[in-house]
C-alpha cells in the first residue's frame, strides 16, 4: 500500500482529535493502522499564548487507522531548522461532527 513508501522514515501524523504525533514509521497496513517508534506529541500553542510549544515523548504508539487524518513525510533537515517551541498556531479541529 501507499504508506509502505514511508517505512523507517520520520513521519508526522495528525489524528482525528487534532493531535500531532511525530515518530518513525515502523509498520502500516491496508486500513492505515500505523506503528510509530520514538513517538512524540507536538503540542503547538495558540497565537498569543505565554506557554512555549513543546514535545511530549510517548514511546511506541500504535494508532488505529480510523484515527489517522494525515500522514506526512517529514523533511528532517527542514524540521531540524524550525524551532518548534516558538511556533504558534490554531488548534486543529476534529474531523467528526460532534
Partner 1 sequence: MLFFSFFKTLVNHEVTVELKNDISIRGTLKSVDQYLNIKLDDISVVEEMKYPHLSSVKNVFIRGSVVRYVHLPAAAVDTPLLEDATRREASQAVAKAKQG
CB of 42 to partner 1, least distance (A): 7
Complex with partner 1: residue 50 or 98, whichever CB lies closer: 98
Among 32, 39, 40, 63, contact with partner 1 (rule: CB under 8 A): 32
Residues in the chain: 98
Exposed, middle or buried by CB within 10 Å (0-12, 13-18, 19+), for 1? exposed
Q: Is 72 in the site for partner 1 (CB under 8 A)?
A: yes
Complex with partner 1: residue 1 or 57, whichever CB lies closer: 1
Q: Is 42 in the site for partner 1 (CB under 8 A)?
A: yes
Q: Is 1 in the site for partner 1 (CB under 8 A)?
A: yes
Q: Is 18 in the site for partner 1 (CB under 8 A)?
A: yes
- Residue 72 CA: distances (Å) to CA of 6, 20, 52: 9, 11, 24
Q: Are 51 and 43 in contact (CB under 8 A)?
A: no
Q: Quick check: helix, strand or coil at residue 31?
A: coil
Q: Is 88 in the site for partner 1 (CB under 8 A)?
A: yes
Amino acid at each position: 500500500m501507499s504508506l509502505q513508501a514511508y517505512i523507517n522514515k520520520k513521519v508526522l501524523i495528525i489524528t482525528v482529535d487534532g493531535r500531532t504525533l511525530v515518530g518513525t514509521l515502523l509498520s502500516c497496513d491496508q486500513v492505515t493502522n500505523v506503528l510509530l517508534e520514538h513517538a512524540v506529541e507536538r503540542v503547538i500553542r495558540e497565537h498569543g499564548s505565554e506557554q512555549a510549544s513543546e514535545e511530549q515523548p510517548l514511546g511506541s504508539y500504535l494508532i488505529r487507522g480510523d484515527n489517522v487524518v494525515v500522514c506526512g513525510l517529514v523533511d528532517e533537515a527542514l524540521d531540524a531548522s524550525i524551532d518548534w517551541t516558538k511556533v504558534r498556531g490554531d488548534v486543529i479541529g476534529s474531523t467528526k461532527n460532534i
